[in-house]
Structure 1
Amino acid sequence: MSLEYKTRTHPAVRELAAKTRRGEIGRRDFLRTAALLGVSAATASSLIGITLDPGPAIAAETPKFGGNLRVSMNVKDISDPAIYDWSEKANIVRHVIEPLVRIDHENTAQPHLAVKWEASDDLKTWTFHLRKGVKWSNGDDFGADDVIVNFTRWLDPKTGSSNIGRFASMTTTVDTGKKDKDGKPVKKTTMTKGALEKVDDHTLRFHLNTADLSLPESMADYPALITHRNFVKDGGNFIKNPIGTGAFALKEFKVGERAVLVKRKDAKYWGGDVYLDQITYIDHGDDPAAQLAAFASGQIDANYETGVEQVPAIKALPDITLYEALTAQTGVARFKVTEKPFTDKRVRQAIQACIDHDRLKTLLYGNYGAPAEDHHVSPIHPEYAKLPKQKQDYDKAKKLLAEAGFADGLEIRIDCVANPTWEQNACKAIAEMVRPAGITLQINVMPGGTYWDRWTTTPFGFTNWTHRPLGVQVLNLAYRSNVPWNESSYSNPEFDKLLDEAGTKLDPNERRPYMAKLEKILQDDAVMVQSLWRSVFVSAGKKVHGIYAHPAFEHHYNKVWIG
C-alpha cells in the first residue's frame, strides 16, 4: 500500500487482537473485522502472532497471456448499475466498472478503488482514501466527484436503488404528510444532509446517523459499482455508453444471447497484468441440459452456477473441475405481512410450525448445505446466535389456524420461478409439509422475468437471496422498515432499533446477543419459512486457472488465465 495514505488504527483492533490471542474470538472473525476497519491483512496477522499463508506455490506454472474465456450465464439487462438486482448483471459489468471495496472468495473486504479507510471510535465517521492514477476509459481521472455523484443518486428514492437499504445509516426518513390506501402515513427516505464530505479529490468522509460496521462491505455489493460522474448526463444507459475504470471494455451485448468483453489497450490497468484477451458470456437459458451439452462439446470453459442436481453429471465429465463454496445463500418463502390472510401472525406461525427444516434441507440438497432457522442469519455469519431448535408441531399449527378462523382449513398460493429446479422443489416440499394441518398450498410457477416483476408485491412468494458477509447486512437489506428490498413489508420499530445497536458492536461476541434478539423476533413474527443454507457450485475446464466459487457468485476474472 502506498505510504502517502497514512491512517490511524482503530483502537478496538488491538483489543480485539488481545481477545483473539486469548481464544475469545476466532482468527477468521478477527481478520475480517480488522479488514472492515481498514487494517491490512499483514498488519492484522502480526497483531495476533501469525504469518500469512502465501498460498500454494505457482512457480511451476507461469500464467499465459491471451485467450477467450467462454462462460455460460444468463445475459440480463445491464442498462443501470444502480438498480441491479442480480449477480449476473454485475458479473458482466464488474470487469468494466468497479467497486470501492471488493469481497474476496474468503468473505473478507479488500481495498479496490478505495486503497484505505479508517473509522472513528464510534463508527459514525469513516474516511476513505481513493486510488490515485486511475483513468476512466474516456481519459478522465477517477476521483471523489465520481463517488459523490453515485452515492447521491443511489440514495435518491427516485432512482429506486436497493442501496438505500445498504446505506440506511446515511439516510433520513420523514413523513410526507400523505396517506396510502389503508390510511397509513406515507414516508420518504432520502440522503441525510452532510452525510458525505469531499475532503480533497481523492479523500471522502462519511458522516453517519448511526454506527455502521458493515459500511465497507456494503460498498462491495453488486449495485454499488461506481459509474462515471456524467453517467446520467450522458444518457444513463451503460450499454450505450460503457465508460469504465476496469481492465475490460464492453464490445458486444444482447439480452438473452451474449456479452463480449475485450481487454482495454488504451491504458495500462491499475491492477497489474490481465491475462485474458476476451471474456464471452453466452446465455443458454434456464435449461441445465443445454449447459451440460455445451461443456461436453467444448463450447464453453466455465459457468455461472452448477445446480446441485447437475453435480453428478459434471463430476462424470473428465476435463471439468467442480468448485464448491459454503455460503449464506438461501431461499425464503416469505409472507407479505400486509396482505390477507398473512396479516394475521397466527396464520404465518401455523405454516411455520408445519416445517421440518432438517428434512427440507435433505429433500432439496441431500448431503450439501445446512438447515435454516427462519431468521436469515447464517451459521457462517460471524455474529450468528444459535437459538433453540425449531420443531415440527401439527397440533400447534391446527390450534393457531382455528384461533385465526380457519378451523376448517386454509387455501393459499405461493409464486415461484420455473428455474432453478431447487426453488420449485422447495415449494413442493413446503406444500407437502403443510397439508396435514389442513393447509392447501397451490404452487404458481412463473417464468423468471414474470416473477421478478412482482417479487416485492406478491402476497406469498419464494425468493432466492444471495450471500452477504455479515448478518446485519442481510437484515438491513431485507427486513428494516421502508427499504426497497423489504419484500415482506415487515415493519417493527423494536427490530430496527436493535439492528442499529447491533451495528455499533465490532466484537462479534458483543454483537451476538443483539443478533439473538433480532433472530428471535423474526422467528416469533413468522415473517418467512426459510428453506436451507446453500452450498454453491461452479464448474470450469481443467485448462482454466485462477477461477473459484465465490460465495456470492461474483466473477473476478482479471487474474484468470487459460493454459
Structure 2
Amino acid sequence: MGNDVPRRGADHPALATLLRSFRAGQLSRREFLATATALGLGASLARDVAGGLVLAQDVAPVTGGRLRIAMAVMPAADPRLFAWPPQGNLLRGMLETLVRQEADGALVPWLLEDWETSPDASEIVLRVRPGIFWSNGDAFGADDVIANLARWAEAHVPGNSMAARIASLCEKKREELRRVVFQRDGAEVEDEVAVAITGLAPGAVERVDELTVRLRPSRPDITLIPGFSDYPALIVHRDFDAAGADATRAPLGTGPWLVESFAVGAGAALGRRRDAHGWWGDRLFGPVFLDGVDFIDAGTDPGRDLSAFEDGRIDANYETAPTFVHEFDAAGLVRAEARTANTVCARMNVTRPPFGAREVRVALQRAVDNAVVLELGQQGYGILGANHHVAPFQPEYATIPAAPPDPAGATARLAAAGAGQVAFELVSSDVEVPRNTCDAIAAQLRDAGVEVRRVILPSARFWQEWRAYPFSATEWSGRPLAVQTYALAYRSDAPWNETGFADPRFDALLDQALGLADPAARRPLMAEMETILRDSGVLIQAFWRDTFRHMTARVRGLEMHPTFELHLERVWLATE
C-alpha cells in the first residue's frame, strides 16, 4: 500500500550520489528504494525516479469476510522480545510500526507522517502522524514514541533485540547483581552475575512537541529508520507495562483490528476495530475490507497445509515449502513469490567446545559445497551464498574472492586442531528448509570423513533455545541494509549473536559503516567485514532464498513480502 504524504529530505546530499549510482547501473531499483527512502525521500517520489508499474484492480473489492491463514501461532506477548517473523504477523493488524518496509524495498512512513535525517545522519527528526487514536480513545503521539524508545533501550531485558537496533541512543546506567540462568559446557547453570542496566542516553531523545521527537545518536547511524520497520519494533501503548505487558491478553492498538482470541500452538483471531475513532488509515486509504483474520496453526508438515486447502479450511498459507511448490500449483492454487535476503545459517558457537578453534570451524565450512546445499535444501530456488551473510542485492554488497570448497582437507584440519575424533552434532528444527539444509550439510561432512549426528527437534522446542546450541541452523529474515544484519547478529555484544563471534576490528569497521549513507562508500568496509566473518568459519551460509506463498483464487491483494510480513489492509475476498 503506497503512502503519498509529502516528505522532507529530498535535498539530502547523499541522494544525488545515490541517483548517479542507480542510473549508472551500480544500484538495482530495490537497492535504490531501500537507501533513498531511509534517508527521507518519499516513497512515491523515489518510485517516480526509479520507475515502476502501478497495478490497477480488475474488479471492485468486496468488503467483509475473514481471511484464514495457516501459520505458526507462537507466544507473542511483548513485541520487543520477538525473534521470529510469525510473531510480528500475529499482532501487526493491531500494533503498527513507525515505518513500514514495502514489498519493493521502499520504506514508507506509517505511524510517522515523515522524518528528516541530517546530512551526516547525526540527527533525525520524527514527525508523528496527527489524528491517530488508540482503540481505548487515547491520542497517539510523541509520548508513545518516547515510551517505546525507552523500553527498547533496556538491553538488560533478556531477549530484547531492539536495544541493538537503537544502540546509538543508549548508555549504560549502572550494574546490578542478578541471578541468571545460562549454558556452560553444555549444562544449564544458575549464578549471580553483574548485569549492566541500560537506558536512553541523556539528550539522545527530545520531545519537541506532542507530535515531534528529535533523535541525537551518539554516532551517525543510518540503520535507525530501517530498524523502526522490523517486526520487534511494533509500537505498544505508553502504559503497556502497567497493563501487564501482554498484547494478547489486553488488546489495545492503533491498527484496524484487535486480538479476539489467542491460543499458542492452535490459533489466533483478529476482529475489526469498532471504537468511535476507528483506524487512522480509513481517512488515507479507506476502511479495510476484511472483517477479521484467523491464524490456524497446522504444524510444520507442509502436507497439512495442502489438506487444509483441499478441505476448504484455509484461504492462504504463511509459506509454501520448496518441495511442495509444484504440488500446490497443481492443486489450482495461486502462487506468490519473492527473491529475498532470507537465508539459513548453519552456525557454530565459538564459546562451545570444540568450536573455539578456528581450524575446526573452517574444516567444516570448507567441506561443504554450497551449490549442493542450495539444490537439496532449497530445491534450487534461490542463489548461492558465500558464508558471509550479505546478499548480492543489498545496497552495500561487496564482491570478494571466493573460498572454494575443500572437502579433502577437512580431516587434516580437524586432526591439526586436535578434533580428529570428535563426533559433531548438527541441530535443526523440523521445518523443511532448515531440516533439509542440515541434512545436505551433514551428508557432505560425512563424505569428507567427518562423523556427524543429526538432531531434529520440534520447532516449538528448537525456538526456545535457538541461541544455545553449539552447532545448529537458524532461519534469518533479510533486512533492507546488510549493516543492520551485521549489527544484530555479529557485533560482539549483539543480542542475536548466536555464534559468539567477537572481533574488535569487525566492530570498528561496522561503526564506520553505520555512519555512511552512500552504499558505495560503505562497500570497501563491507568487503573487509565479509572477509573477516567468512574466514572466521562460524557460518555455513549456503544460499539466498526464493520464497513462496499460495492462496485460493478468492484472495486478492495478498503479496509474498520478502521478509514474510503480512500487510492485510488492502486484502479482500472475492465472492465465489
Letter matched to residue 350 of structure 2: V
Contact 2:156 2:197 (C-alpha < 8 Å) held by counterparts: no
What residue in structure 1 maps to residue 14 of structure 2? 12
Farther-moved stretch of structure 1 (238-247 vs 448-457): 448-457
Counterparts of 1:315-330 in structure 2 under 5 Å? 315-318=329-332, 320-330=333-343
What residue in structure 2 maps to residue 411 of structure 1? 423
Deviation of 1:194 after TM superposition, in Å, equals 2.4
Partner secondary structure for residue 74 of structure 1: coil
Counterpart Cα distance in 1 of 2:6 and 2:556: 34
Letter matched to residue 308 of structure 1: P
What residue in structure 2 maps to residue 106 of structure 1? 104
**Residue 148 (1) aligns with residue 146 (2):** yes
Letter matched to residue 552 of structure 1: T
Contact 1:175 1:186 (C-alpha < 8 Å) held by counterparts: no
**Residue 190 (1) aligns with residue 198 (2):** yes
Contact 1:546 1:561 (C-alpha < 8 Å) held by counterparts: yes
Partner secondary structure for residue 328 of structure 1: coil
What residue in structure 1 maps to residue 398 of structure 2? 385
Deviation of 1:57 after TM superposition, in Å, equals 2.5
**Residue 340 (1) aligns with residue 350 (2):** no
**Residue 136 (1) aligns with residue 145 (2):** no
Counterparts of 1:133-282 in structure 2 under 5 Å? 133-160=131-158, 161-172=160-171, 188=196, 190-191=198-199, 192-266=201-275, 267-272=277-282, 273-282=287-296
Counterpart Cα distance in 1 of 2:327 and 2:47: 41
Deviation of 1:187 after TM superposition, in Å, equals 7.0
Counterpart Cα distance in 1 of 2:450 and 2:6: 65
Instruction: Assess, with a 3 A threshold, how the Cα gap between structure 1 residues 105 and 43 changes in structure 2: closer, same or farther.
Output: closer
Farther-moved stretch of structure 1 (326-335 vs 381-390): 381-390
**Residue 427 (1) aligns with residue 438 (2):** yes
Deviation of 1:350 after TM superposition, in Å, equals 0.7
Instruction: Assess, with a 3 A threshold, how the Cα gap between structure 1 residues 461 and 125 changes in structure 2: closer, same or farther.
Output: same
Q: Which string of whole-angstrom CA distances, capped at 9 and with x for unpartnered residues, describes residues 375-425 of structure 1?
A: 111112111112222312134323322221234x3311122112x122122
Letter matched to residue 572 of structure 2: W
Q: Which string of whole-angstrom CA distances, capped at 9 and with x for unpartnered residues, describes residues 198-220 of structure 1?
A: 11111111111222112111001
What residue in structure 2 maps to residue 491 of structure 1? 502
Counterparts of 1:470-489 in structure 2 under 5 Å? 470-489=481-500
Question: Unmatched 5+ residue regions in structure 1?
Answer: none
Counterparts of 1:538-553 in structure 2 under 5 Å? 538-553=549-564
Contact 2:8 2:115 (C-alpha < 8 Å) held by counterparts: no
Contact 1:155 1:163 (C-alpha < 8 Å) held by counterparts: yes
Counterparts of 1:62-141 in structure 2 under 5 Å? 62-141=60-139
Deviation of 1:129 after TM superposition, in Å, equals 0.5
Letter matched to residue 321 of structure 2: G
Instruction: Assess, with a 3 A threshold, how the Cα gap between structure 1 residues 189 and 396 changes in structure 2: closer, same or farther.
Output: farther
Instruction: Assess, with a 3 A threshold, how the Cα gap between structure 1 residues 562 and 427 changes in structure 2: closer, same or farther.
Output: same
Question: Unmatched 5+ residue regions in structure 2?
Answer: 186-192
Q: Alpha carbon RMSD of aligned pairs, Å?
A: 2.4
What residue in structure 2 maps to residue 41 of structure 1? 43
Contact 2:124 2:216 (C-alpha < 8 Å) held by counterparts: yes
Deviation of 1:16 after TM superposition, in Å, equals 2.7
The alignment covers a number of residue pairs equal to: 555
Instruction: Assess, with a 3 A threshold, how the Cα gap between structure 1 residues 359 and 24 changes in structure 2: closer, same or farther.
Output: closer
Partner secondary structure for residue 340 of structure 2: strand
Letter matched to residue 330 of structure 1: T
- Give the TM-score normalised by the residue count of structure 2: 0.91
What residue in structure 1 maps to residue 473 of structure 2? 462
Letter matched to residue 449 of structure 2: G
Counterpart Cα distance in 1 of 2:195 and 2:450: 36
Deviation of 1:31 after TM superposition, in Å, equals 2.9
Contact 1:153 1:159 (C-alpha < 8 Å) held by counterparts: no
Counterpart Cα distance in 2 of 1:32 and 1:367: 27
Counterpart Cα distance in 2 of 1:5 and 1:392: 48
